[in-house]
């Protein structure tokens, strides 16, 4: 191999390594939640809050698309997607998406999360999840509510895990059984908290208690959230690939030196 050919080969190796390493900064998709399959039941109570408790976003994930499916319903229903942080069973509203007035189409609907307040990015692994409220949240207030548009069934009897992100995720959802809208009740504002009964801590609102039976059993809703990485490669991975490229370039030089000797 001539000296000029060696230089070209080394440069190509280094260029390929750099491009490949930088490509890792492009986000890989994450989806958490349950399958958007047909489930037979719609909620009769208006304005309730529903939280996916079966898995979490990865660190740096950015909420992208809220996907849902419901059985046949008439008229228009209200939905606003939400992002929560979880601290040992206490869920705090940290992000509020764009409100949607929706109608039945017979198809999976996939509106953009459309952050309007708070954050749409998971700042740590294992603590951020999503949910929704059956209402319209706009300009810092819950302005309207409706009964359900997203189908559900009872998790413990008809829809075992895992969730869409695979094991160890589940199809477990928790929910508010009896929130009352009106009188300036802004229960989905940023910082509002919801607690699973029996968890340590305090919160503004209490979620369902499966021990009570009946309609309080945890459920599975036909909804999930697509997220993308915020675009930062793991330092260890980046260094490993770059190092491998440098080693390969060094081998080219070594072989060239031996050939000349």
DSSP-assigned letters across all residues of the chain: --HHHHHHHHHHHHHHHHHHHHHTTSPPPEEEE-------B---STT-EEEE-S--PPTTEEEEEEEE------S-EEEEEEEEEEETTEEEEEEE---EEE---SS-B--B----EE--B--STTSEEEEEESEEEETTEEEEE-S--S-EEEHHHH--S--TT-TT----EEE-S-----TT--TTSTT-EEE-TT-SS--SEE---GGG-GGGS-EEESEEEEEEE-S---HHHHHHHHHHHHHHHHHHHHHHHHHH-
pLDDT, one tens digit per residue, over 76-93 is: 999 999 999 999 999 999
> Does residue 208 carry a pLDDT above 60?
yes
More confident residue, 233 or 203: 203
Assign 161 a pLDDT band (cuts: 50, 70, 90).
Answer: confident
Contacts of 81 by beta carbon, 8 Å cutoff, 6+ apart: 63, 66, 96, 97, 98, 111, 113, 114, 130, 131, 132, 225
Mean pLDDT rounded to a whole number for the chain: 82
Assign 257 a pLDDT band (cuts: 50, 70, 90).
Answer: low
pLDDT, one tens digit per residue, over 6-48 is: 454 445 544 544 444 444 444 568 999 999 999 989 999 899 9
Mean pLDDT of all residues in 200-210: 93
Predicted local distance difference test score (pLDDT) of residue 87: 96
Predicted local distance difference test score (pLDDT) of residue 81: 98
Assign 52 a pLDDT band (cuts: 50, 70, 90).
Answer: very high
> Does residue 156 carry a pLDDT above 80?
no
> Does residue 184 carry a pLDDT above 90?
no
Predicted local distance difference test score (pLDDT) of residue 20: 42
Predicted local distance difference test score (pLDDT) of residue 233: 43
Predicted local distance difference test score (pLDDT) of residue 241: 43
Percent pLDDT > 90 in the chain is 61
């Amino acid at each position: 191999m001539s000296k000029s050919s060696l230089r070209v080969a080394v440069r190509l190796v280094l260029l390929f390594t750099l491009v490949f390493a930088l490509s890792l900064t492009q986000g890989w998709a994450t989806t958490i939640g349950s399958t958007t399959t047909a489930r037979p039941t719609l909620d009769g109570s208006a304005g309730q809050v529903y939280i996916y408790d079966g898995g979490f976003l990865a660190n740096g994930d950015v909420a992208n698309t809220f996907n849902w499916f419901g059985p046949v319903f008439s008229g228009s229903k209200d939905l606003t997607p939400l992002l929560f942080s979880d601290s040992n069973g206490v869920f705090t509203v940290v992000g509020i998406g764009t409100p949607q007035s929706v109608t039945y189409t017979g198809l999976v609907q996939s509106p953009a999360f459309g952050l309007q307040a708070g954050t749409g990015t998971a700042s740590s692994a294992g603590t951020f999840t999503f949910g929704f409220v059956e209402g319209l949240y706009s300009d810092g207030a819950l302005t309207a509510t409706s009964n359900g548009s997203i189908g559900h069934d009872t998790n413990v009897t008809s829809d075992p895990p895992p969730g869409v992100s695979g094991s160890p995720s589940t199809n477990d959802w928790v929910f508010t059984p009896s929130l009352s809208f009106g009188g300036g009740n802004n229960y989905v504002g940023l910082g509002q908290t919801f607690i699973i009964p029996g968890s340590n801590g305090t919160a503004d609102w209490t979620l369902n208690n499966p021990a009570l039976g009946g309609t309080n059993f945890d459920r599975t809703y036909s909804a999930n959230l697509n997220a993308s990485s915020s675009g930062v490669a793991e330092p260890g991975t980046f260094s490993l690939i770059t190092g491998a490229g440098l080693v390969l370039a060094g081998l080219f030089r070594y072989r060239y030196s031996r050939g000349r000797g």
